[in-house]
Amino acid sequence: MRAICFLLLSCLALPAQALALLDAYALALRNDPSFQAAIAERDAGLEERAVGRAGLLPRLSWSYSNQRNDSQVTAGGQRVDRDYRSYASVLSLQQPLFDYAAWADYRQGVARALLADERFRGRSQELAVRLFEAYSQALLSDERIALARAQRRTLVERLQLNQRLLKAGEGTRTDELETEARLALAEAELIQAQDELDIALRALEAIVGEPLARSDLQPLLDDFPIQPPQPARFEAWRDLAVAGNAELAAQRRAVEVAAQGIEKQRAGHLPTLSLVASSRLTSSDSESSYNQQYDTDSIGIQLSVPLFAGGGVSAATRQASAAHVQAGFELDAQTAELLTRLRQQFNLCNSAAARVRAYRLAVKAAETLVQATRKSVAGGERVNLDVLDAEQQLHGARRDLAEARHSYLRAWLQLRYLGGVLGEADLSRLAGYFVTKQG
């Protein structure tokens, strides 16, 4: 029994497993408020098809009235008081036979439903991008903290050496002040990195809906494959984006919605034809039918021809035409902007391998430079400031390398998002670039 209790307490004492990227994505699908809003927006938009179709279907209504009447009737010089009850029960049916406005409204409803679908597709892909960028930013901020601490530790050691040399009469007060100044800057950089990590974690928490600490995140692998984009030609990505990007597809649907809006307003000049049928049961429905009951069934057609509406129909049509032109130009502007963003991400992916390779060489060269400069100072060939500059160069190279690695992964994901080909499999591929660790 004691052994079982000890085992249970040991399990409870274990820290929780790190939040993997795919686990974070699963939480985001359930908890991200922007994505939940997108789901509601999609559900509302899909109803536009049914709303538009309703105008083409039969309309059935029933009305009933029951009233008490007190009237005075004067006829031939005689006045008669009447105190009676009246009622009317009417069941009516109307089926549009020709209603171009209702047809255009239905077509517009279909376009709006497709627009809602495309917007939701875009929001779904955008969620993966937002999640990864927040996850990556939190990790990058954590790496910056580690680099800032390493720099501070190196400067503290350097300051202690300066102080020992100064006491031994071999150093100068200037060397000590130079190192103290660099140490103060390193402290400020560390504080800034800690603030950035806190903000990054809060942003990630808002997406996944759970509190997080930096220890919950999985770090990037030290070495992961950096490959040029496939397809290798930008023209192929441009064709993919024009054909499949969700933002452009949604804007094209918006153009179609505006086009159907023109047809809907134009219908104000056209006649409407409907099949009408009714069943009426009345009693003393009016003064002329006092003490009379009627049970009447009727069926026929009803034609309505618009003649003049004060110019409102023509104005509304012109207004709808202008809105259609506006939507078309907005599509052109959105296409141009998207292709610019696509080109930027393509270039980042294309040059990522060379940039990361260059930064790794810069780190190695800076490490060698630091060692060589320290030896030169010991030999009297260099001064303390040269060591500080070399160490700052090493710190900058390490920071640039960390940013370049994260920048490549973000650009790769953005490229597939803008190209309209982003799927959950891409997020799974990125998840393989992180260190799998147990708490």
For 219-233, the three-class secondary structure string (H helix, E strand, C coil) is CECCCCCCCCCCCCC
pLDDT at 73: 79
Q: Is 188 left (phi over 0), alpha (psi -120 to 50) or beta?
A: alpha
Tokens of 79: 């006045």
**What are the two backbone dihedrals, phi and then psi, of residue 81, each rounded to the nearest 5 degrees?**
-90, 135
The CATH number that domain 18-64+84-431 falls under is 1.20.1600.10
pLDDT at 201: 94
User: Quick one: average pLDDT of 347-374?
Assistant: 90
Beta strands in 177-309 (DSSP E): 272-283, 293-304
For 351, other C-beta atoms within 10 Å of its C-beta total 15
Within a 13 Å sphere around the CA of 284, how many CA atoms are in the beta-carbon half?
Answer: 14
Is pLDDT larger for residue 85 or for residue 104? 104
Nearest to 253 by CA among 42, 419, 98, 38: 42
Q: How far is CA 161 from each of CA 41, 95, 232, 367, 369, rounded to the nearest angstrom?
A: 64, 95, 53, 19, 19
Q: At what angle do helices 33-54 and 100-167 cross, to 10 degrees?
A: 170
pLDDT at 18: 74
User: Quick one: average pLDDT of 99-126?
Assistant: 94
User: 296 has which bridge partners?
Assistant: 280
C-alpha 344/C-alpha 260 separation (Å) is 36
424 within 8 A of 13, measured Cβ to Cβ: no
Q: Where are the alpha helices (DSSP H) in 88-228?
A: 100-167, 173-208
List pLDDT tens digits, range 204-241.
999 999 999 888 889 988 888 888 888 889 999 999 99
pLDDT at 291: 79
| Residue at token pair 């190279």 | 397
The amino acid present at 281, given as its one-letter code, is L
pLDDT at 438: 52
List pLDDT tens digits, range 233-268.
999 999 999 999 999 999 999 999 999 999 999 998
Within a 13 Å sphere around the CA of 67, how many CA atoms are in the beta-carbon half?
Answer: 13
Q: How far is CA 149 from each of CA 163, 179, 194, 213, 416, rounded to the nearest angstrom?
A: 21, 15, 11, 18, 36
Is pLDDT larger for residue 74 or for residue 359? 359
Q: In which band, very low, low, confident or very high, does the pLDDT at 188 lie, cut at 50, 70 and 90?
A: very high
The amino acid present at 207, given as its one-letter code, is I
DSSP summary character for residue 169: T
Q: How far is CA 297 from each of CA 96, 211, 281, 300, rounded to the nearest angstrom?
A: 19, 69, 9, 11
User: Quick one: average pLDDT of 79-107?
Assistant: 90
**What are the two backbone dihedrals, phi and then psi, of residue 290, each rounded to the nearest 5 degrees?**
-65, 135
Nearest to 217 by CA among 142, 146, 129: 142
List pLDDT tens digits, range 310-331.
899 999 999 999 999 999 999 9
Nearest to 247 by CA among 341, 329, 344, 331: 331
**What are the two backbone dihedrals, phi and then psi, of residue 384, each rounded to the nearest 5 degrees?**
-60, -40
pLDDT at 56 over 70: yes
C-alpha 21/C-alpha 132 separation (Å) is 8
